[in-house]
Amino acid sequence: MRDYKDLKEEELLKLILGGNLPEHIAIIMDGNGRWAKQRRLPRISGHKVGMDSVRDIITLSREIGIKVLTLYAFSQENWKRPQSEVRALMGLLQEYLKKEIKTMIEKGIQFRAIGEIEKLPVKTQEVINNAIENTSKNGDLILNVALSYGGRSEIIEAIKNILRDIEKGDISADNLNESLFEDYLDTSGLPDPDLLIRTSGEKRISNFLLWQSAYTEFYFTDTLWPDFRKKEMLLAILNYQQRERRFGLTREQIKRGLYAL
């Protein structure tokens, strides 16, 4: 494969716009702590600079016409981190949303959140709900942020709600299928991610979008999140565009285009 790393951002952009864009990109933004450690800085400085990457990636996604961007910002397991780090992360999120809400409204970005939002500090919930309400009519890019999110508990919650609805008589067990099940997930109404990116060299899913990533393409990079900027994102998309998604079919079937995927 050609070494696209040597190309300029504009050249990469041109190449990408000539191909099939992923509709939904999900990102596990990892490596902030290590970025800071390499510079002998406190972990929180990594999170702070990571917010600049968040801004860059959202801007680029909107500019090139990505429909949905899901960012894993805080997992259920992250609550076990030192209290000071958790508090700082919540503070950064609040600050970011307050600062960016105007731009999100102007640029047609629809803000959404998945995960246990009710477990977040009340102040954080307020800015989140405010951002959701004020951008609900936007449709250029859906920015979906995963907060206190865990894929397994999302599935358990869906099952509980399905059982309740069966008990109430609203649905019947016989009608339960994949599509109905998806209506009960936090991501209801959104397409599955086409591309999932994880930064920092870790190659695991860490309880992210377990149901939704059944046929997602994975892209792993050693780049730490605070260094993951536009060019890195373009390289990830270009890499995705070189792949052949087969969904269980044979190569020949795909080539003949006999199946609508």
Instruction: Determine the Cα–Cα distance for residues 53 and 29; give it in Å rounded to an integer.
Output: 9
The DSSP secondary-structure symbol of 170 reads: S
Binding map of Mg ion across residues 25-64, x = CB under 5 A, - = no contact: -----x----------------------------------
User: Residues 212, 178: contact at Cβ < 8 Å?
Assistant: no
Q: Which of 147, 67, 57 is nearest to 109 (CA)?
A: 67
Closer residue to ligand IPE, CB minimum distance, 12 or 223: 223
| Residue 28 is a binding residue for ligand IPE (CB under 6 A) | yes
Q: Which residues pair with 198 in a beta bridge?
A: 28, 220
In the list 22, 32, 97, 209, the residue contacting ligand IPE (rule: CB under 6 A) is: 32
Q: Is 78 a catalytic residue?
A: yes
74 binds ligand IPE (CB under 6 A): yes
From the list ligand IPE, Mg ion, none, pick the one residue 75 interacts with, judged by a Cβ distance below 5 to 8 Å according to partner type.
ligand IPE
Label residues 69-80 b or e (16+ Cβ within 10 Å = b): bbbbbbbbebee
CB of 61 or CB of 75, closer to ligand IPE? 75
Closest CA to 159 of 125, 136, 182, 179: 182
AA identity, residue 216:
T
Partner touching 74 among ligand IPE, Mg ion, none, CB below 5 to 8 Å by kind: ligand IPE
Using alpha carbons, select from 203, 193, 199, 201 the residue that is nearest to residue 240: 193
30 binds ligand IPE (CB under 6 A): yes
202 scored as a contact of ligand IPE (CB under 6 A): yes
194 as an active site residue: the answer is no
What does the alpha-carbon distance between residue 152 and residue 206 come to, in Å, rounded to a whole number? 10
Per CB under 6 A, contacts with ligand IPE among 39-68 are: none
- CB nearer to Mg ion: give 138 or 206: 206
Binding site for Mg ion (CB under 5 A): 30
Which residues belong to the active site?
A: 30, 78
